[in-house]
Amino acid sequence: MPRRKIVAALDIGTSKVVALVGEVDTYDQLSIIGLGEAASVGLRRGMIVDIERTSRSVAEAVAAAERMSGISLSSVVVGISGAHIATLNNRGVVAVANPGREIMPEDVVRVLHAAQVINLSSERHILHVLPRQYIVDGCDGIIDPTGMAGSRLEVEALIVTAATTWVRNLHYCLQKAGLHVDGLVLSPLAAAEVVLEPAEKELGTILVDIGGGTTEIAIFDRGGLWFTSVLPMGGDFVTSDLAVGLRLPLVEAERLKRSFVPPAAGNGEAATIEVGTGLHRQEVSQDLLASIIEPRLEEIFQFVQGEIARSGYPALLPGGVVLTGGIAALDGIAELASQFLQLPVRVGYPGGVGGMVDMVRHPSYATAVGLLVHGTRLAVGQVAAAQEAGGAGFLRRFWEWVLDIFREE
């Protein structure tokens, strides 16, 4: 019997830490076999502020996933996000090495290496080199130049970088939890793996991942990532508004937020809900809740709208907006976002995996499931570009190149 391939993913959010364990069968199909969660302690708006407490949260989530799956984990693929993420555009150029002037997979690897040769300070760490288009002898718009004739190969790429200090602190946290980092993946890039359709990435779609302390915006077009940004606000702001406005503990405010039903979609203006604890209980109307929740959501969408404008993209992208993250499950949020942004909006649920899928069929697990899918590709050596180019020798070399980019030495 062939040996099982086991992959693990870790999504360290501001509100919670999620650990997933997956098994890859002989057909390279991924099944989820373990899930662990823990309250996230030691992070603020996506930034690590207490390594010891964060590592304990990680260890707790991983231990729960190990118990469910029966697998002992030593390494994980980890999502990375936060305001320290930055992007820049760069171009790489190489001469085609083949005497017959046929572009080989090795030429593609060399030009991607050339694109990441940039004047970068020691304070920045390269996460991803994402090709936007290839140019062969001045002809642009090429998705895969392999097999084409030419003497000069260029690539326009998006370089995603992170703060070196943040990356080191993340490694310290995981080391304290007894884990090794298999790879670092930009969180919205991971979420897009399981909530966006290929056609949406091709047409042009905005992914908005609203987490507890941050909101991540990623614009996909022509099949790839073209813009990303992180806002220092998220669903926890709504919880705080409810706690202050109704004088509730944060735990009760969070429960109230999750049970909110917009008046128009509920039982009318008279619909009420009981809130509070112990003797301090009260009935509040859904209208009152809407007057607290909706202005904060509109503020988030206002900043999202500003980031879309800053990206240089037109106001309307054919694919519209896909919302994910914990608060995306809130009743009526897609309609509210659509009215405010003047774009078609849907809620993105993770898919494309087998096993215990019912446990993760929620927008809050999009990043974790996407990380698991990415880890699967690394485990079986099937990165998309390698699949298209083909060739066992190139697959091995491409795999080595991927590890250079995604694995921190």
**For residue range 118-156, what is the model confidence (pLDDT) as tens digits?**
888 889 999 999 998 899 999 998 989 999 999 999 999
Answer whether residue 203 shows pLDDT above 80: yes
| 78/73 Cα distance (integer angstroms) | 13
Of 317 and 324, more confident: 324
Once rounded to an integer, what is the mean pLDDT over residues 87-97?
92
Total domains in the chain come to: 1
Given pLDDT bands bounded at 50, 70 and 90, which one contains residue 314?
low
The per-residue DSSP string of 154-171 comes to EEEEEEEEEEHHHHHHHH
* Domain membership flag for residue 265: no
Phi, psi of 292 (to 5 degrees): -95, -45
Q: Average pLDDT in the 382-387 region?
A: 41
Structure confidence at residue 401 (pLDDT): 53
Domain CATH number, residue 156: 3.30.1490.110
| Residue 391, domain member (yes or no) | no
Mean pLDDT of the chain: 86
pLDDT at 369 over 60: yes
Q: Which amino acid is at 146?
A: T
Asked whether residue 142 is assigned to any structural domain, the reply reads yes
Q: Does 314 map to a domain?
A: no
DSSP 334-394: HHHHHHHHTS-EEE----S-EESGGGG-SGGGHHHHHHHHHHHHHHHT--HHHHHH--HHH
Average pLDDT value for residue range 237-254? 89
Question: Is residue 409 a part of any domain in this protein?
Answer: no
Is 64 domain-assigned?
no
105 located within any domain: yes
pTM for the predicted model, two decimal places:
0.86
Query: At 59, which helix (H) or strand (E)?
Result: helix 51-69
Domain assignment of residue 368, yes or no: no
Nearest 5°: the CA angle 274, 278, 282 is 30
Range of the domain at 131: 86-163
